[in-house]
Structure 1
Amino acid sequence: MKKVILLVVVFATVLTAFTGIKKEKTTVNDAVAIENSVAVNNVNLEASVLTWKGSKPTGSHNGTVALQSGDLVVENGTLTQGVFVVDMNTITNTDMAGSDGAAKIEGHLKAADFFDVAQYPTSKFVITSVVEEEGKLLVTGNLTIKAITKSITIPASLSTEDGISTFKSDVFTIDRTDFNVKYGSKSFFDGLKDKFINDLVEMSFEVVTKA
């Protein structure tokens, strides 16, 4: 009897732990007006990347997207400006890399009912302000996906060594439907049962400057 009670307690504890895991959506606001932006084209595109992770009831997939161009302005060790242009045609799925499944996922993400890269070949993040708080940078910027721009704030860090600066954001979570990416969303379609795709998508930036 004691063993049964112990198992019930353990199961309840595990269940509580898992149900307590909750992705928090990054708050989105109206785009912030930008007076000017310095174009320095100093980002090492081969070393820089946007990572993503999407999920559904039966599992999750993750991958990367390359940058098409980028500017990262660091003055006296302080991040002041930045523009990251993302090449949506380079969306890749890494957890199934090299398989037909990966090719299918990549094709779907690029298709008209998802990111529609034929019409919207690039996305963009433009830094509008940076505040340091308790050793972490709170970076606010305009995120543009499918020609829809929202202001978001993401935690990040900046390091500089031998003249090379590396910007790394924490993982942040956006609601894809805020950017008109509605495929398989329970928020817009009924009767999907367990075939839906979660609205929340995890992302993170790593941007490295040239030597």
Structure 2
Amino acid sequence: MKKSALSLVLAVFTGFSSIASTTIDNEKKQVKTSESTVTWKGYKVTGSHYGTIDLKEGALIFDGNQLIGGEFTVDMGSLVSHDLEGKSKGKLENHLKSDDFFGVAAHPTSKLVFTKVKASGKNSYEVKGDLTIKGKTKPISFDISVYGSKATATMKVDRSLYEVKYGSGSFFDNLGDKTIYDEFDLVVDLVF
């Protein structure tokens, strides 16, 4: 009887010990939206425009120190231009929010969901994800670097994939110097 009781106590103790030493996988770290920035830059034949757009919410997912996932939502109504002032600034911002471009009234948010993350070096990762703009979801690839509680990514987005047609040489002929290039850049600086 003493042997069975001792065996039972050892079995229970061993079970608790293994449970206590198990680490929690997939830690989700919420992004501090007020400290994070998303900068955009669009190009046309005669120059470029740039500005910012706010993150509504977002998180990076880690397994230990390794990035394994992420998900972000952007507030399209927060899109602003930083290279213009006065009426020109308001005109550009309103045009970008209109149905000619991002149709913010019908599509107030855009979303990015990481689908695959692969380490490419110390603190660096190659990410594949699904980007949703104007209700259309398309795959996108980009690199991200993570240092402590900060992360930085740069990506090129082809607006023509999301039916953002205005001034696009992919949809219209003979635009000349009115052509707006399909690709625009996003530079994302995250704090979490």
Matched, 1:112 2:99: yes
Matched, 1:45 2:45: no
Give the Cα–Cα distance (whole angstroms) in 2 for the partners of residues 205 and 141 of structure 1.
15
Give the Cα–Cα distance (whole angstroms) in 2 for the partners of residues 95 and 154 of structure 1.
26
Aligned partner (choices 150, 167, 176) of residue 166 of structure 1: 150
User: Number of residue pairs matched?
Assistant: 166
- Which aligned segments of 4 or more residues in structure 1 are displaced greater than 2 angstroms? 38-41
Give the Cα–Cα distance (whole angstroms) in 2 for the partners of residues 65 and 176 of structure 1.
16
* CA contact 2:158–2:184 (8 Å) conserved in 1: yes
Q: 1:192 — aligned with what?
A: 175
* CA contact 1:39–1:71 (8 Å) conserved in 2: no
- Displacement of 1:75 in angstroms is 3.0
Structure 1 counterpart SS, 2:181: coil
Structure 1 counterpart SS, 2:161: helix
Q: 2:17 — aligned with what?
A: none
Aligned partner (choices 172, 180, 198) of residue 163 of structure 2: 180
Q: Which runs of 5+ in 2 are unaligned?
A: 1-25
Q: 1:144 — aligned with what?
A: 132
Q: 1:128 — aligned with what?
A: 115
Give the Cα–Cα distance (whole angstroms) in 2 for the partners of residues 187 and 83 of structure 1.
30
Q: Which has the larger radius of gyration?
A: 2
Q: 1:22 — aligned with what?
A: none
Give the Cα–Cα distance (whole angstroms) in 2 for the partners of residues 50 and 190 of structure 1.
32
- Displacement of 1:184 in angstroms is 0.6
Q: Which runs of 5+ in 1 are unaligned?
A: 1-37
- Displacement of 1:151 in angstroms is 1.5
Q: Deviations over 1:85-110 (max 9, x none)?
A: 000000011122x4221111111100
- What RMSD over aligned residues (CA atoms) do the two structures have, in Å? 1.7
Give the Cα–Cα distance (whole angstroms) in 1 for the partners of residues 117 and 135 of structure 2.
24
* CA contact 2:67–2:117 (8 Å) conserved in 1: yes
Q: 2:90 — aligned with what?
A: 103
- Displacement of 1:152 in angstroms is 1.4
Which amino acid in structure 2 is aligned with residue 166 of structure 1? K
More strand by share: 2
* CA contact 1:41–1:69 (8 Å) conserved in 2: no
- Displacement of 1:198 in angstroms is 0.9
Identity of matched residues, %: 41
- Displacement of 1:46 in angstroms is 0.6
Matched, 1:74 2:62: yes
- Displacement of 1:39 in angstroms is 10
- Displacement of 1:147 in angstroms is 1.0
Which amino acid in structure 1 is aligned with residue 152 of structure 2? K
TM-score by length of 1: 0.74
Give the Cα–Cα distance (whole angstroms) in 2 for the partners of residues 149 and 140 of structure 1.
13
